[in-house]
Structure 1
Amino acid sequence: MLSILLGTVALPVLAAEPEACKVVRMAEPGWNDLAFTTGVALTLLKALGYEPQSSLLGIDVIYLSLKNKDLDVFLGYWDPAMVTYYKPYKEEGSVEDVVTNLKGAKYTFAVPAYVWEAGVKDFADLQKFPDQFEKKLYGIEPGSNQLMIDATKDQALGLDGWEVVESSEQGMLAEVQRRAKDKAFIVFQGWAPHPMNTAFDIRYLTGGDKFYGPDFGAATVSTQVRKGYLKECPNVARLLSNLTFDIAFENKGMGYLMTDGLSPEEAAVKALADEPQRLDAWLEGVTAFDGKNGRDMVKAKLSL
């Protein structure tokens, strides 16, 4: 279906996008990888003459908002980590997939290297050190830790009575940093791409296939939209179908957020200045909102 819809966008006839498409409503859950990629989308859409907006929402709220047509675009469906969140909306058809925008990602439990060397190499090893861990597992924002919560309920792992501490990505990593200074035990949600993989000496735990999937939660990230959006706004649909990333690019962009303190859009502009050639593929067949050449418009607006 998507290929049919996008095929109409590729026709060599320039026409302005419908006025209703000018405002593009997006959301992300506060994770730095999604903040960065959403920042890239915002930057490109603004340069094309659109008026994109981005909200910071929990995963469950994002999906409900897509279903209710209060949001248009979400760039952050992690598969398989978010399968349980997406499943009911996929089954009813209220949320649609556009493209896999990142491959080679992973997501599962992680510990500092000194904890791994002390004998915590698998999910099943956690129960051997309840006092050292203070029976706590550290997650990110509320609504995004269901897999971690599910693990505490699995009788085979012996984690009855363990608490999942929910805060935010930044709060969780601040706790990792604090405990690492004292070589204290901590287990937390770890993933790649993310600068945590270079900022800390960490190891990913085996044994989580039941929850996160095989190969340390090997994952893909996909772009999704509300039902009907691809047909309503075919030019934005073309941009979204072209907008794919890689681990190295996202690591760089997240570094600009976390180390340099840039905003998502500032980080996007800096990353694009480093690699302007990415625009050629991203803007293939894409026009500006008013129907003019999209690639020329973006390069001019961003001085690239």
Structure 2
Amino acid sequence: MNTPKSNYIRCGILSSLFISTAAMSAPNFDCHKIRLAEPGWTDLAYTSGVTQLLLNQLGYDASVDILGMTVMLESMKNKDIDVMMGYWDPAMDAYIHPYLENGSIEVIAQNLAGAKYTYAVPQYVYDAGVTDINDLHKYADKFKSRLYGLEPGSNNIIIDAIEEGKYNLAGWKVVESSEQGMLSQLRRAVRRSQWIAFQAWAPHPMNVNFDIAYLKGTDDTYGPNFGGATVHTTARKGFASHCPNVGKLLENMTFTLDMENIGMSYILNEGMSTEEAAKKTIQANPEMLNTWLNGVKTRSGDDALPILQRYIQS
């Protein structure tokens, strides 16, 4: 029997179900708290630090987490991380492609050109005849059949290559630690004139702090031109469109090799925090603010450029 009361109850139940379903299906976007992540690489620590500084000065609450590569990408898919400033293309393709394909992660913009990412040796090892990755196996004893990589989850390219029988490196071990661990091992080897093969990339102060040479022969794994790469800003699905002011900033942000090399040097060689390094490089390149903040407002809707100009002058 339909009564006004029963109809009211049914409508209330249906309304509750509709609201509950809508709430469950609605994307979870908090445009005030912006969560960035990076895998512990100094270049991404620096670019994430610059982004965090700008966002915080514009009235947002930005944070940066250090996560392993696979954890970081899964966190973006699961909406626990909003932004990652360092998709190295093509070096990271194997990691990120499934997420780009299913749409859970979106590419916002290219933020750096002219990068490279592959294996290298000290110059004295290169001069001794190791100029190609296919030369390594000839000197397995000198290298102790070891390749020095980054943190677990970031070395899959070379690990997969070894498992597939490439470069005659069967039985070789990829030593996984961290960027700092790898650099410490490189520093120790160079000091003792020992042979070492290690993951290298540019931009990075290692290219200035050490006399190193990149190995040929990895075009089929790391890509041509010594793993020549572009770096891209990425965000979780829908983030840039739901937070358009932040999205505009991310779209505008580009860096130069020189700027990143200097910023990373401040962090690695001078012990600066990422915020200190970011502020100092912006002070040296104030014209970058004109590009980065074009069309960007503060969180409260004011013009962004005067706010940041006052900050870097303080």
TM-score range, shorter chain: over 0.9
2:53 paired with 1:43: yes
Asked if residue 227 in structure 1 is aligned to residue 237 in structure 2, the reply is yes
Partner of 2:101: 91
Among 28, 52, 67, the alignment partner of 2:77 is 67
Matching residue's letter, 2:296: V
Shift of the alpha carbon at 1:224?
Answer: 0.3
Residue 102 (structure 1) aligns with: 112
Question: How far, CA to CA, are the matches of 1:61 and 1:279 in structure 2?
Answer: 32
* Residue matched to 1:119: 129
Match of 1:28 in 2: 38
What corresponds to 1:217 in structure 2? Answer: 227
Aligned-pair RMSD on alpha carbons? Answer: 1.0
Q: Residue 301 of structure 1 aligns with which residue? A: 311
Q: Which amino acid aligns with 1:150?
A: D
TM-score between the two structures when normalised by the length of structure 1: 0.92
Give the letter for the 1:212 counterpart. Y
Kindly state the Cα deviation for residue 156 of structure 1 after the two structures are TM-superposed. 4.0
Equivalent of 1:243, from 242, 246, 253? 253
Q: How does 1:188-207 map to 2 (within 5 A)?
A: 188-207=198-217
Question: Is contact 1:132–1:185 with CA below 8 Å preserved after alignment?
Answer: yes
Structure 1: distance between partners of 2:166 and 2:253: 41
Contact 1:47 1:302 in 2 (8 A): no
Deviating beyond 3 angstroms after TM superposition, the runs of 4 or more aligned structure 1 residues are none
Local SS of the residue matching 1:110: strand
Aligned residue type for 1:39: G
Distance between the aligned counterparts of 1:155 and 1:103, measured in 2? Answer: 32
One-letter amino acid matched to 2:87: Y
Q: Report the 3-state secondary structure (helix = DSSP H, G, I; strand = E; otherwise coil) of the residue aligned with 2:161.
A: helix
CA deviation profile, 1:90-116 (whole Å, cap 9, x unmatched): 111110000000000000000000111
Asked whether 1:81 is paired with 2:91, we answer: yes
**Structure 1 residue 159, shift from structure 2 partner:** 0.8
Determine if the alignment matches structure 1 residue 254 to structure 2 residue 268.
no
Percent identity, aligned pairs only, is 51
For the 8 Å contact 1:27–1:73, the answer to whether it is kept is yes
AA of the residue aligned to 1:160: A
The code of the aligned residue for 2:276 comes to E
Matches within 5 A, 1:264-303: 264-303=274-313
Name the TM-score, length of structure 2 as normaliser. Answer: 0.89
Q: Give the secondary structure class of the aligned counterpart of 2:153.
A: coil
CA distance in 2 between partners of 1:256 and 1:67 (Å): 33
Q: Which amino acid aligns with 1:174?
A: S
Amino acid paired to 2:110: T
Report what 1:5 is aligned to.
none
Structure ranking higher on relative contact order (CA contacts 8 Å, 6+ apart): 1
Displacement of 1:303 in angstroms is 2.6
For 2:298, the aligned partner's letter is A
Tell me whether 155-164 or 284-293 shows the greater mean CA deviation. Answer: 155-164
Q: Which residue of 1 aligns with 2:160?
A: 150
Post-superposition shift, 1:183? Answer: 1.0
Listed one character per residue, the Cα deviations across residues 164-213 of structure 1 (whole Å, up to 9, x for unaligned) are 00011011011001011111110000000000001000000000011100
Q: Give 1 or 2 for the bigger CA radius of gyration.
A: 2
Matched letter for residue 189 of structure 2: R
Unaligned runs of 5+ in 1: 1-18
Aligned length: 286
Contact kept, 8 Å, 1:105 with 1:192, in 2: the verdict is yes
Q: Distance in 2 between matches of 1:239 and 1:99?
A: 10
- Rounded to whole Å, the distance in 2 between the matches of 1:297 and 1:266 is 18
Equivalent position SS for 2:134: helix
> C-alpha displacement at 1:121, in angstroms?
0.6
Shift of 1:275: 1.2
Asked whether the equivalents of residues 150 and 211 of structure 1 are also in contact (C-alpha less than 8 Å), the reply is: no
**CA–CA distance in 2 between the matches of 1:60 and 1:150?**
16
Distance 1:179 1:303 in 2: 43
Q: Per-residue deviation at 1:274?
A: 1.1
Structure 2 residue runs without a partner (length 5+) = 1-28
Establish whether residue 187 from structure 1 lines up as the match of residue 197 from structure 2: yes
Cα deviation code 1:126-179 (max 9, x no counterpart):
110111000100001111011121232242411111000001101101100101
| TM-superposed deviation, 1:118 | 1.1
